[in-house]
Amino acid sequence: MAKEITIEELRTMARRAGLPLPDDELLRLLPGVKRAQSQAAALRELFTNAAEPATIFTTFKIDLK
Amino acid sequence: MQNNQLCYLTIIEAAAALRKNDVSPVDLAEATLKRIQAIDSNLHAFITVTADLALQQARQAEQELSAGKDRGPLHGIPIALKDLYMTKGIRTTCHSAVLENWVPDYDATTVTKLKEAGAILLGKLGMHEFAFGGPSVDAPFPAVRNPWNTEHVTGGSSSGCGAALAAGLCFGALGSDTGGSIRTPSAHCGVVGIKPTYGRVSRYGIIPLSWSLDHAGPMARCIEDCALLLQAIAGFDAKDPASAMVAVPDFLCGLKDGIANLRIGVPRAAWFDENLGVDEETETVFNQALEVLKSLGATIIDIDGRPFSLARKANQTILVCEAYAYHEKTLQETPMKFGSSVRRRMLEGAFLSAADYLTAQRARSMLNERIRANFSQVDIFAAPSAPRPPEAFSTMDPNEQNLGPSFTNPFNLTGLPAISVPCGFTQGNLPVGLQIAAKPFEESTVLRVAHSYEQATNWHDQRPVLE
């Protein structure tokens, strides 16, 4: 399990993502980001390498139109 | 007939009255517009009222019906739309400052279908901003209030649809549902709402929240009306890449066939007690609803709730990633144009990785299989529509999440059809909803079970005191 994100890391990631967010907004955002990341991490425990994503590109779908 | 009696007719009743010439489409439109003017300042269900258009469409319907040109049961019926359905020439705001004065130049496919069916458009309804977050308390339009108690929220995100139907301000409405946004306000406002199977109803011309989880669907005051509306909007649409080329059955046919020998799966274990669990009064009302279903011939079977519980994690991960991707440019350029609740939820998606998103999509495949595997032993699933009654504005934190299980998320993740039907009230006179879900494209089953329950009870006949 990856370690929890810090405010410094959040600030760096926001800057890289082109998001002009002030520190007070980043602080308010932090608990939600931690929750979102921990939810995604919990899903990693679920499956084996055989599981494929639900979004698979299919060529014939386009041909149908 | 008094004005409020007219406004609370079901679509079925109004359609019959129109054909007996007891009322006219203009009577229905004028009565609802008058009622909107009289009471909506307390509810804020409508963002835009299209009074002139409604009266023009009503006069046209009146002429057509008297000339024998009958477009079907929605002809001359006043309806309203969640304000994310694109309407040509009519402002479509998504309840947001971002689109405060945006006027689309084409109609959503569903809007076109309702127009062709002769429905009358009363206006555009309030919602949670961009169909996400909590009630929009810092948006340019006021948050919608619950007609059962205006100190309480309606639930969302199709808030205005729930409020307008409960208050007799329209006869039917179209909402959208990405994590429960049709079923939650239906439950909290004491009305009916169905989220059809993913692909059953076109999403073309509906502002997306999350492409792979968004569903369009109808809301109404009773099951028959919901079936009628679904009939009008369902079907393949080449303009929607997710649209399913699956035949549309007659949703009214078989509605009254009963539920003898129906096997109902209740995924209670490891789901109902998740996080803060389900509210005690809500669970009591839900258990009473199960007893009614048993008395109608159904069998209740306990099933494993774990995959249903895990579904929320996958649903929310996919949702925030897709929502952020759609709104990225606006969030980078003018983030403060969004209300605080929706902005913070969407921004979560900026800090998840591509691997997180694909992990959630892999979990979706697996959970979909595990949830659907239950259909070898049950015909439908039942659960409360919401874990607790609608909260009061005074105690609500619009940024608070995950206080209870999400009973609605699993059916967005799996795309299964699911409905909310009124099933009782709390001691505080706030409505509670019963949710029923079935196999893919079995909306008819969902509607039949809900109709059987509805007809055995009188919850759907209850009206809030508003005058």
pLDDT digits (tens, 9 = 90+) for A41-57: 999 888 777 788 998 77
Q: Is the domain of B96 the same as that of B228? A: yes
From the list A32, A42, A44, the residue facing B344 with the nearest CB is A32
What is the amino acid identity at position B321?
Answer: C
Determine contact, residues B450/B437, Cβ cutoff 8 Å.
no
Residue B312 phi/psi, 5° resolution? -65, -40
Q: Is B234 helix (H, G, I), strand (E, B) or coil?
A: strand
Angle at B242 between CA B237 and CA B244, to 5 degrees: 60
Kindly write down the DSSP assignment for every residue of B101-117, as one continuous string. T---SS--HHHHHHHHT
User: What CATH number has the domain bearing residue B61?
Assistant: 3.90.1300.10
Q: Does residue B170 sit within a domain? A: yes
Tokens of B443: 């909306």
Residue B457 phi/psi, 5° resolution? -130, 175
What are the strands, taking DSSP E only, across B204-335?
Answer: 215-220, 263-269, 299-304
A60 burial via Cβ count (<10 Å: 0-12, 13-18, 19+): exposed
Q: Does residue A13 sit within a domain? A: yes
Nearest CA in chain B to A49: B362
* Segment among A59-63, B83-87, B313-317, B462-466 with least mean pLDDT: A59-63
Q: Does residue B55 sit within a domain? A: yes
Q: How far apart are CA B56 and CA B90, in angstroms?
A: 15
Across residues B303-308, what is the average pLDDT? 97
> Would residue B444 show up in a list of annotated catalytic residues for this protein?
no
Which pLDDT belongs to residue A16?
95
Nearest CA in chain B to A42: B313
How many domains is chain B partitioned into structurally? 2
B347 and A37 in contact by Cβ < 8 A?
Answer: no
Q: Does residue B251 sit within a domain? A: no
Q: What percent of chain B has pLDDT over 90?
A: 93
Determine contact, residues B327/B129, Cβ cutoff 8 Å.
no
Across residues B50-59, what is the average pLDDT? 98
Which pLDDT belongs to residue B402?
57
How many domains is chain A partitioned into structurally? 1
Q: Is the domain of B290 the same as that of B336? A: yes
Determine contact, residues B189/B147, Cβ cutoff 8 Å.
yes
| A65 has a pLDDT exceeding 50 | no
Chain B residues within 8 angstroms (CB to CB) of chain A = 212, 238, 241, 245, 310, 313-314, 316-317, 320, 331-332, 335, 340, 344-345, 347-352, 356, 358-368, 399, 401-402
Q: Is B379 helix (H, G, I), strand (E, B) or coil?
A: coil
Q: Is the domain of B304 the same as that of B190? A: no
Across residues B186-205, what is the average pLDDT? 98
Q: Does residue A45 sit within a domain? A: yes
Determine contact, residues B99/B93, Cβ cutoff 8 Å.
yes
| B75 has a pLDDT exceeding 90 | yes
Nearest CA in chain A to B321: A36
Q: How far apart are CA B362 and CA B221, in angstroms?
A: 38
* Segment among A43-57, B170-184, B258-272 with least mean pLDDT: A43-57
Strand pairing report for B172-177 and B215-220: antiparallel
| B55 has a pLDDT exceeding 80 | yes
Residues B334-363: tens digit of each pLDDT: 999 999 999 999 999 999 999 999 999 999
From the list B212, B313, B401, the residue facing A43 with the nearest CB is B313
Q: Does residue B200 sit within a domain? A: yes
A44 and B368 in contact by Cβ < 8 A?
Answer: no
A40 and B359 in contact by Cβ < 8 A?
Answer: yes
Q: Is the domain of B103 the same as that of B211? A: yes
Which pLDDT belongs to residue B143?
96
Strand pairing report for B418-425 and B192-195: antiparallel
Tokens of B176: 């959208």
Q: Is the domain of B294 the same as that of B382? A: yes
Q: Does residue A57 sit within a domain? A: yes
How far is CA B75 from each of CA B116, B214, B297, rounded to the nearest angstrom? 9, 28, 37
Which pLDDT belongs to residue B4?
83
Strand partners, B1: none
> Would residue B115 show up in a list of annotated catalytic residues for this protein?
no
Q: Hunting for tokens 């410094």 — which residue is that?
A: A8
Q: Is the domain of B349 the same as that of B270? A: yes
Q: Is the domain of B96 the same as that of B161? A: yes
From the list B238, B310, B362, the residue facing A51 with the nearest CB is B362
| B179 has a pLDDT exceeding 50 | yes
Which residues in chain B are contacts of A47 at CB distance < 8 A? 362-363, 366
Q: What percent of chain B has pLDDT over 70?
A: 99
Across residues B314-326, what is the average pLDDT? 97
> Would residue B212 show up in a list of annotated catalytic residues for this protein?
no
Determine contact, residues A14/B328, Cβ cutoff 8 Å.
no
Which residues in chain A are contacts of B364 at CB distance < 8 A? 53-54
| A64 has a pLDDT exceeding 60 | no
Q: Does residue B111 sit within a domain? A: yes
B277 burial via Cβ count (<10 Å: 0-12, 13-18, 19+): middle
- DSSP label at B95? T
Q: Hunting for tokens 């009305």 — which residue is that?
A: B191
Instruction: Write the CB contacts of B346 (distance below 8 Å, at least 6 apart in sequence).
Output: B130, B132, B320, B323, B324, B327, B331, B338
* Segment among B184-188, B252-256, B397-401, B419-423 with least mean pLDDT: B397-401
Q: Which of residues 3-62 of A touch B (CB under 8 A)?
A: 5, 10, 13-14, 17-21, 25, 28-29, 32-33, 35-37, 39-40, 42-44, 46-47, 51-55, 61
Residues A25-42: tens digit of each pLDDT: 999 999 999 999 999 999
Q: Does residue B436 sit within a domain? A: no
Mean pLDDT, all residues of chain B: 96
Strand pairing report for B78-82 and B172-177: parallel
Q: How far off is chain A from B210, nearest CA to CA, in Å?
A: 13
Q: How far off is chain A from B77, nearest CA to CA, in Å?
A: 33
| B397 has a pLDDT exceeding 90 | no
Across residues B174-182, what is the average pLDDT? 98
Across residues B358-379, what is the average pLDDT? 96
Whole domain around residue A32: which residue ranges?
Answer: 7-64
- DSSP label at B85? B
Q: Is the domain of B211 the same as that of B292? A: no
Q: How confident is the model at residue B133 (pLDDT cuts 50, 70, 90)?
A: confident
Q: Does residue A1 sit within a domain? A: no
Residue from B303, B277, B278, B311 nearest B382 by CA: B303
Q: How confident is the model at residue A1 (pLDDT cuts 50, 70, 90)?
A: low
A44 and B359 in contact by Cβ < 8 A?
Answer: yes
Q: How far apart are CA A21 and CA B70, in angstroms?
A: 56
Q: Does residue B123 sit within a domain? A: yes
**Number of other residues whose CB lies within 10 A of the CB of residue B103:** 13
From the list B344, B365, B367, the residue facing A52 with the nearest CB is B365
Q: Is the domain of B7 the same as that of B77? A: yes
Q: Is the domain of B20 the same as that of B100? A: yes
Q: Does residue A53 sit within a domain? A: yes
Determine contact, residues B410/B294, Cβ cutoff 8 Å.
no
Determine contact, residues B41/B142, Cβ cutoff 8 Å.
no
Which pLDDT belongs to residue B91?
98
A40 and B317 in contact by Cβ < 8 A?
Answer: yes
Q: How far off is chain A from B289, nearest CA to CA, in Å?
A: 32
A21 and B347 in contact by Cβ < 8 A?
Answer: yes
Q: Is A1 on the interface with B (CB under 8 A)?
A: no
Strand pairing report for B78-82 and B263-269: unpaired
Which residues in chain B are contacts of A52 at CB distance < 8 A? 362, 365
A contact test, residue of B347, B348, B367, B371 with most A CBs within 10 A: B347
Whole domain around residue B362: which residue ranges?
Answer: 263-417
Q: Does residue B465 sit within a domain? A: no
A29 and B347 in contact by Cβ < 8 A?
Answer: yes
